[in-house]
Structure 1
């Protein structure tokens, strides 16, 4: 009987110890930041839904991002590719063999909120953010720069297991979701260089 009691006590102590080892949201966020610091590039598939006055519009694309601010977007319908080399933005229209170059970064600054890479950069410098938990995900919420009332805040869900994102949402000044972006097939630190990122230009 004593042996059974001892076993029960040991199991209880182990259970309590395991519970105590569950990381807090703050500890998870610190680990997330460490992971982000080591990321040099990534690629992922993106499903973006824009909620407007009419029915929602959906876009499928592939994102490639190279630190600190270079990227490529390939839309799956084949109608447009977008490149940013850190100074200029290139809009490529494969169907009509046309390239448009915008030199003023401010013209495309808002769209950087769609990129995971820019979000990862901002969470390392932002002084105002909210960190919460939901099941297996760590949720980070931050204000967006600028005065666009339809893009006031953004939230992103990171897996607690591998710190890969599930989705991002953009929220307007009234608290309504205007954009939802889901990430799949995301890979950190792929064989991506500036040369092969812009080889199509």
Structure 2
């Protein structure tokens, strides 16, 4: 009789441990992500950007910084010939600083300026776009949406969000033929930095 009680208690403990350690569902992860990004004030990260053209490809490593609603900053780390180049998007103003020639270029841009490779722009897109597909694999929640006013080279974008940390891991820009034109890998991603 005592063995039966012990086995029953062990069974309940085992079931409790299994259910307590179960992974979040996609809906729960998406809800947590949505809550996090709607409260996003800023972020910073290192981004490895691979650009795939028709004849060749190039790789860039940059520091991204975003501050809501319209401030974006890119500092190029690699390749070495443009290392240190800084591009700042601040509302309708674009500033390009090149330390190699100690030059600064400023332009005022009126109109929609999409910065497809920034997570901040993707977040704006998914919050405003009703056409969002959500997938997942073991480690990532994958969000795919059409790019508003898309062109041949910028048809869809897909972002991979780490299910545990809710941090972006990878962003893909896909053309109208389904070919990946840009792949951005995010490292050292930090939400709400100063």
**TM-score range with shorter-chain normalisation?**
0.7 to 0.9
RMSD of aligned C-alpha atoms?
2.0
TM-score, normalising length from structure 2? 0.87
Q: How does 1:104-183 map to 2 (within 5 A)?
A: 104-106=109-111, 109-110=113-114, 112-183=115-186
Gap runs ≥5 in structure 1: 192-201
Alignment coverage as a number of residue pairs: 188
Given candidates 81, 84, 91, the residue that maps to 1:86 is: 91
Gap runs ≥5 in structure 2: none
Write out per-residue CA displacement over residues 17-39 of structure 1, whole angstroms, 9 at most, x where no aligned residue: 347x5432122111101111222
What is the CA distance between 1:85 and its match in structure 2?
1.4
CA distance, structure 1, for counterparts of residue 13 and residue 26 of structure 2? 27
TM-score, normalising length from structure 1? 0.85
Q: Is the 8 A contact 1:69 1:118 kept in 2?
A: no
- Structure 1 stretches of 4+ moved >3 Å: 15-19
2:4 match: 2
What is the CA distance between 1:109 and its match in structure 2?
2.0
Write out per-residue CA displacement over residues 88-120 of structure 1, whole angstroms, 9 at most, x where no aligned residue: 1112222122222221244x824x111011112
Q: Greater strand percent: which structure? A: 2
